[in-house]
Amino acid sequence: MEKYVKILKDNNMKITSHRINVLRYLDKHCTHPTADQIYTDLKTNNPSLSKTTVYNALDALESHGIIQAITISGSELHYDITHEMHHHFYCKKCGKIIDIEFCCPNINKMSEYGHEVEEVHGYIKGICKKCIKKGS
């Protein structure tokens, strides 16, 4: 059984080819794509695909905690497969999102506040290495 089928099955989600494709796309691309990027890329091999379906699939996957929405850009959502905690760097110039491998040890302190923590996002914004080089 394919890896993605298993993930869907384990989460009691109906198995559809679109969901598998979206999931595989996010697994294979570490670019933190937007719904539109996923839609455009998948549509080339699957012309009947609708953008609504991509939104539906992303919502379903997110609500099961399989993927996460990244709100770093402020204008559109980017998506990431949920795995070990890591942070993100957002380049204000080229818009690229880069994985940052450390994470904050103070997160455990959150329990002191009495809120129920479901997600932790570390967003660092600035100018990326490449754009600095280009700019100078």
Partner DNA sequence: CTCGATGCAAACTGTTTGCATCCCA
Partner DNA sequence: TGGGATGCAAACAGTTTGCATCGAG
Comparing CB distances to its own copies, the nearer of 56 and 73 is 73
What dihedral angle (degrees, nearest 10) is formed by the CA atoms of 113, 116, 122, 125? -80
| Strand positions, DSSP E, 19-66 | none
57 binds, among its own copies, DNA, none (CB under 5 to 8 A by kind): DNA
Determine the 3-state secondary structure of 91 from DSSP. Answer: strand
Among 11, 50, 63, 111, binds DNA (CB under 7 A): 50
Contact residues: its own copies, CB under 8 A: 69, 71-74, 77, 89, 91-92, 98, 100, 102-107, 109-110, 113-129, 132
Say if residues 47 and 89 touch (Cβ distance below 8 Å). no
Q: Cα–Cα distance between 109 and 87 in angstroms, integer?
A: 18
Is residue 19 close enough to count as binding DNA by CB under 7 A?
yes
Among 1, 28, 45, 75, binds DNA (CB under 7 A): 75
Comparing CB distances to DNA, the nearer of 50 and 111 is 50
Tokens of residue 46, six digits: 């699957």
